[in-house]
Chain A
């Protein structure tokens, strides 16, 4: 038998296909937001599914979607590292300092009487994509993928408290950006 006999098991492949492929759009969506590049996202998703198949035998939960997300996240970190060595973009988790910046640094600028205007999907996508990591990741997992704080904490391998502060920061930044782009009310 070939060396990777386990991966050639058609029955396993069928179970994997049924369990994992329905989440393809969700995994691809997360990859798009994490990597902000369509073709990098495609590569990362394909790699994610290869790794997932390889480890499918030992998969015992959590739910399939968060499990795939955790794998994808690891794939993306490798991609971040590659980018970091070739470009200037910082990657990885935020430096300690950014995480600890008090929320007040941006919040007081937000006027109480200014109302958020409706925006179309592409405008919101752009605002979300402009968020810095890891706030973008937390925001996307919560608001677009509808995961619980616990699930997000497990995927990002941080305490729930960190998820909460990142989410608070993400929404505060998004709110400021959202309001900043509007014409001031006449």
Chain B
């Protein structure tokens, strides 16, 4: 094999695109040619550096929103259908109608937020952007949120209880910045999203499923919590119980 040929084929070798026979030929050539050997070494180094540096960009949130907004909304027709039902002279009284509309709208709102929570979870797994602050130490993660959010999300290390704290991240849900605290359970990632809420009522935890993910949400102390993961529902319930129990301990 000549250097000319090797110069092209050694890339296919690096990329695993060469059949065994050709790979052998390139390797034989490289073994006897210092110049091609140096090139191969450098290209491998470069590929490694490129792979390790994460040269990808994260799509701006505004762009994501613009695209989502340009898609036909699946929920709109159902809401419209309900409203049209009333307009067409149903026997339901006006008061009942108001209540029902409020429920319909509220339900829409909740399912939209659920879908946004799952999207944010997916994004965090795909974008190579799971954490902004990478630390298993709650005393590093918690102060990191200072000044980045209106609220100080509680950061609790649950490592001893089977859920490893791995860091924190700033994310966006419902067009507002929220804190995301990231835990790991075996190979699974749990994102715990924390957002401020105007209401101070305590809402007990409940689990729902969306696109194959379990979402456990609850409200406490003026904060809304959503824990999202692909772990089983009972494990996620265990997570939220341990988190809430640890909250009480640290508060008391």
Report Cα–Cα, A10/B12, bound state, in Å: 44
Interface size on B, residues (CB 8 A): 49
Q: Shortest CB–CB separation between residue A80 and chain B, in angstroms?
A: 19
CB 8 Å contact bits of B55-69 with A (1 = contact, 0 = none)? 111111011101110
Residues of A within 8 A of B71 (CB): 13, 16-17, 53
- Which of B33-41, B136-144, B174-182, B184-192 forms contacts with chain A? B33-41
Determine if A121 is an interface residue (Cβ-Cβ < 8 Å).
yes
Q: Is the CB of B57 within 8 A of A28?
A: yes
Determine if B51 is an interface residue (Cβ-Cβ < 8 Å).
yes
Task: Name the prevailing secondary structure of the A interface residues.
Answer: helix
Q: Which single member of A27, A107, A120, A171 contacts B53 (CB below 8 Å)?
A: A120
Q: Is the CB of A28 within 8 A of B43?
A: no
Residues of B within 8 A of A18 (CB): 211
Q: Is the CB of A116 within 8 A of B59?
A: no
Q: Shortest CB–CB separation between residue A150 and chain B, in angstroms?
A: 9
Q: Is the CB of A13 within 8 A of B72?
A: yes
For chain B, residues 1 to 47, give those with C-beta under 8 angstroms from any C-beta of chain A. 4, 7-9, 11-12, 15, 17, 34-35, 37-39, 42-43, 45-47
Report Cα–Cα, A25/B8, bound state, in Å: 31
Report Cα–Cα, A22/B126, bound state, in Å: 8
Q: Is the CB of B122 within 8 A of A13?
A: no
Q: Shortest CB–CB separation between residue B46 and chain A, in angstroms?
A: 6
Determine if A103 is an interface residue (Cβ-Cβ < 8 Å).
yes
Q: Is the CB of A24 within 8 A of B67?
A: yes
Q: Which single member of A25, A165, A178 contacts B58 (CB below 8 Å)?
A: A25
Report Cα–Cα, A22/B211, bound state, in Å: 13
For chain A, residues 19 to 67, give those with C-beta under 8 angstroms from any C-beta of chain B. 21-22, 24-29, 32, 41-42, 45-46, 49-50, 53
